[in-house]
């Protein structure tokens, strides 16, 4: 299993389908996951450090966990079947809850919990993109301009059907 980091989200026309891009922390593979609009908005707000005036659904889950004395230890992307990704949220006490990857990642980002992808998922759906050139500037999330540009070029050439069917992780 490999630890992943969130690179970003991009909305792809003409369907306006958001794509969440993860990258291996200690590797070169990327994992694109087509997700829903509300999950994309929640992830993007968290990534930008924007705090909504009232808790969003993912904030509510974090608040509930805190109120019940539980902590999220990690999120695992454990499987992909016919283009649909499957995840687990692992809490203290080895409590495991199945979840959509987009929801689990949105919550993990709020809890600073690691995001882990199973090796077979990375082998099946992970993609290599051109490496960043030396000296490229990086944004606050660690994604270089070249990395983001490679993501855009990749998205111009790929569709959800390339992953065995239209993916929305739901």
Residues 84-104 pLDDT 10s: 999 999 999 999 999 999 999
Q: Give me the number of domains the chain comprises.
A: 1
Residue 139 lies in a domain: yes
Mean pLDDT of 105-117: 97
Residue 34 lies in a domain: yes
Pairing of strands 72-81, 115-117: parallel
CA–chain centroid gap for 48, Å, is 15
Spatial separation of the C-alpha atoms in residues 103 and 106, rounded to whole Å: 5
Structure tokens that stand for 84 in this block? 């649909």
**pLDDT value for 40:** 94
- Whole-angstrom distance between the N-terminal and C-terminal Cα of the chain? 22
| CATH code, 134 | 3.10.690.10
Residue 160 clears pLDDT 60, i.e. is over it: no
Residue 168 lies in a domain: no
Residues 53-70 pLDDT 10s: 999 999 999 999 999 999
- The neighbour count for residue 19, using CB atoms within 10 Å, is 20
**pLDDT value for 79:** 96
Residue 60 lies in a domain: yes
Residue 170 lies in a domain: no
Could you tell me the residue range of the domain that residue 6 belongs to? 2-163
Residue 96 has φ and ψ, to the nearest 5°, of -115, 130
Residue 97 lies in a domain: yes
């Amino acid at each position: 299993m490999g630890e992943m980091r969130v690179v970003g989200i991009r909305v792809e026309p003409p369907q306006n389908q958001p794509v969440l891009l993860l990258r291996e922390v200690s590797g070169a593979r990327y994992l694109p996951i087509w997700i829903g609009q509300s999950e994309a908005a929640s992830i993007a707000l968290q990534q930008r450090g924007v705090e909504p005036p009232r808790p969003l659904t993912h904030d509510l889950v974090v608040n509930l966990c805190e109120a019940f004395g539980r902590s999220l230890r990690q999120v695992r992307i454990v499987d992909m079947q016919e283009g649909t990704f499957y995840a687990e949220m692992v809490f203290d006490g080895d409590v495991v809850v199945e979840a959509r990857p987009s929801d689990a990642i949105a919550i993990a980002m709020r809890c600073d919990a690691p995001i882990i992808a199973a090796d077979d998922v990375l082998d099946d759906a992970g993609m290599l993109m051109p490496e960043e050139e030396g000296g490229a500037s990086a944004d606050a999330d660690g994604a270089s301009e070249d990395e983001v540009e490679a993501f855009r070029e990749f998205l111009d050439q790929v569709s959800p059907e390339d992953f065995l069917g239209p993916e929305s992780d739901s």
